[in-house]
Structure 1
């Protein structure tokens, strides 16, 4: 069963207000869809708008999806021990950059960010658990259900995944090939489990 973690942390609006109060006048960094986000060794990025895809590369060039950072979630090199760690804008995003020292000096900010970081780590664990399903179709359905909980938007037909994940993105997340994902998405459309709108967003029914 897919579990939603959104209600277990400080509300995104509360964290945004806290950031605005603590760092008035600080500008945001904008990245357009598909851009790689540069990360310094002491930088913590906070997502203010949009979704960031976090991934790692294996020596053979295969990419593995580690998670998605949505509004109020932090990410950055100080928060991981993975050597090849990449962040890519999955939509147009606005980010606030803080240093580790700044966060350590504010107990309130540290506590709020830790709650959102915990939510993202639980999301990543849920994605890793998908591998336990033997059938690839089950893994894909569970992944889409997780995305529905994390970044879904209600629409008339059901719930729309708010970012355009490529078939390769989905394949990387569940350990299969792009061709297999394309075939399974076609099956799920025929079964009425999902549809694709005119802007190429996935809608789950």
Structure 2
């Protein structure tokens, strides 16, 4: 997928779970359209389906009904194997927890992501250049447990963008950080997104972080049939 084909659209999305207590409607969102290269922040109360929506955009699951399309690919119609390949090659993922491999250095963590997404491409030059650009070069030979929380999250962002993904999906990327480190992390994320021309969809509870996006979408609590849900 070229970066000129990185729009994101979702239509008539519904996610329903059936439990012993009844039907749980975890998401009921009519539409979402993000132009290629744009940034959107998704906000809403706990249980409104923010993380569920992001998971559908990532192809981690398929909706009960509705469609998710990234560029020219309707990922909601792909089988699991095809969704995994699409995600590996075209998406960058950032989570609240950095999920760095503890036995690998920062440079090795970032290089591993590039090797997975772009097999056969020698990673060293690209990894060093990215870490230098993001002000992380001095951390390249450190293990994750030798970093602060803010440094770990910035390293995780570097890992998410090293393969120049078409779309970056971030789920509460500053949720575990203090305000100063949160600001540094979101600076790193926005700077990286703009540098590669990616589309960014960001889930956050923080209005300061959301204000950095081009647009904010507020999700409402889905109507439930017979049971409550704690989906986020």
| TM-score over 0.5 for the pair | no
Please report the TM-score for the alignment, with normalisation by the length of structure 1: 0.31
Please report the TM-score for the alignment, with normalisation by the length of structure 2: 0.28
Bigger relative contact order, structure 1 or 2, given CA contacts below 8 A and separation 6+? 2
